[in-house]
């Protein structure tokens, strides 16, 4: 299964594009569409949108692979998209150790989506942007009409 256009639109909307390095909500250096800089990455002159889109595609592939590796049950396209966005945003490690994944792999899909909605805090405080993102993921999760159009 591949990340759909609807999933990619959610990532882009949630992250927004920034051509220069900034600190994300967790205080980590980030650029483009939410790409966290890892040593030795450096973009002293910033990046343009096509570069950001290429980096995003690579980051999304990593998130797709993590979901495919960790999830042991069948997923709808919307569920897959929601989990890829979650992994992109929070990292595969957070999914791997979560009650969300435990419930999902036990076939408790309704419990899993409720767990997804709990991931709306940053620095111990509810974050409105994260709350909106988790709600958008839950909407994808619950939507059987999401088409499997691979994101470009």
For 20, other C-beta atoms within 10 Å of its C-beta total 11
DSSP string, 104-129: HHTT-HHHHHHHHTT--EETTEE-HH
Annotated catalytic residue: which of 2, 15, 41, 49?
15
User: Do 70 and 96 touch, CB atoms closer than 8 A?
Assistant: yes
User: Do 138 and 130 touch, CB atoms closer than 8 A?
Assistant: no
**9 noted as active-site residue:** no
Largest Cα–Cα separation, the chain = 47
Active site residues: 15
């Amino acid at each position: 299964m591949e990340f759909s256009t609807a999933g990619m639109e959610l990532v882009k909307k949630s992250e927004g594009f920034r051509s220069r390095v900034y600190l994300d909500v967790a205080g980590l250096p980030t650029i483009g569409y939410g790409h966290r800089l890892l040593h030795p990455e450096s973009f002293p002159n910033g990046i343009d949108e096509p570069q950001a889109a290429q980096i995003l595609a690579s980051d999304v592939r990593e998130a797709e692979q993590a979901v495919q590796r960790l999830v042991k049950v069948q997923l709808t396209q919307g569920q897959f998209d929601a989990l890829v966005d979650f992994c992109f945003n929070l990292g595969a490690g957070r999914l791997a150790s979560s009650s969300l994944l435990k419930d999902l792999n036990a076939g408790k899909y309704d419990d899993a989506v409720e767990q997804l909605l709990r991931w709306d805090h940053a620095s111990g405080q509810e974050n409105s942007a994260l709350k909106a993102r988790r709600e958008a993921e839950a909407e994808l999760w619950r939507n059987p009409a999401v088409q499997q159009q691979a994101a470009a």
